[in-house]
Amino acid sequence: MRPIPPESVSPEAVKELKVQGSLTGVRLAWGSPVNDRRGKELQELDGYRVERKIISRPGDTVNSRVRFEKLAFVEDRSISDLLRQRELLRSQDKPSHRAKIDPAIQSFEYVDSSARPGEQYLYRVVPQSYYGDGAVQLVAQVLFRGDSSDVSMLAGLTSDGDLVESALGADDEE
């Protein structure tokens, strides 16, 4: 059997990222991935690195020199809880496939209370495990104005989760 590269067993991307502006900041909400990058059941997930990139000029959106900064780490125990449940069922001579993840512990939220009115940001949520960073599929672009913030989801990412220029409309380019 050929060895598996560690990145292939790292988590798949967060698929449902909801972002909205509020009076207290930019609210991000998402659910746990359940598979690794190969599409197999995920065996390890530590949590999520919530990152933000400040957009000062239109070209900063795709400028790799303007980096995402870590805002927070949000812990995820859903996979470790599932594996613990399976072990308990096995010890009781019961089928381990009956173990289920409680949906309540698969939903996460983070509020960036440091967002400033009139500023434009990119946000992404990067799943993390012992095997490395998970994939990134969605990046949210936010012009923060409290409750009336403009939010759009961007696709067209490199393997590192950075935007490629072709993913932007003509009005976003320099």
Q: What is the pLDDT of residue 95?
A: 87
- Is there a domain that residue 42 lies in? yes
Q: Is residue 77 part of a domain?
A: yes
**Is residue 89 classed as helix, strand or coil in its secondary structure?**
helix
The answer to whether residues 120 and 152 touch, using CB atoms and an 8 Å cutoff, is no
115 alpha-carbon distance from chain centroid: 19
Type of residue at 1: M
Strands (E), the chain: 17-22, 25-31, 47-55, 69-75, 107-112, 120-129, 132-133, 139-143, 150-154
Residue 126 belongs to a domain with what CATH number?
2.60.40.10
Per-residue pLDDT tens digits for 113-145: 999 999 999 999 999 999 999 989 899 999 999
Interval 43-87: pLDDT, tens: 999 999 999 999 999 888 888 889 999 999 999 988 888 888 889
User: In this structure, is residue 173 part of a structural domain?
Assistant: no
Q: What is the mean pLDDT of the chain?
A: 86
Q: Which domain holds residue 142?
A: 6-167
Residue 85 in any domain: the answer is yes
In a domain, 145, yes or no: yes
Supply the pLDDT for residue 99.
Answer: 82
- Select the more confidently predicted residue: 163 or 111: 111
Cβ atoms of 134 and 158 within 8 Å: the answer is no
- State the first-to-last Cα distance of the chain, in angstroms, to the nearest integer: 49
Kindly report the length of the chain.
174
User: In the chain, how many domains are there?
Assistant: 1
Mapped onto helix, strand or coil, the DSSP state of residue 51 is strand
Q: Do residues 88 and 80 touch, judged by C-beta distance below 8 A?
A: no
Q: CB of 11 within 8 A of CB of 136?
A: no
Q: For Cα atoms 143, 167, 128, give the angle at the middle one, nearest 5 degrees.
A: 75
- 172 pLDDT above the threshold of 60: no
Query: Given pLDDT bands bounded at 50, 70 and 90, which one contains residue 167?
Result: very low
Report yes or no on 112 lying in a domain.
Answer: yes
- Residue 172 is assigned to a structural domain of this protein: no
In the chain, what are the helix, strand and coil shares in percent, each to the nearest 5? 20, 35, 45
Residue 174 lies in a domain: no
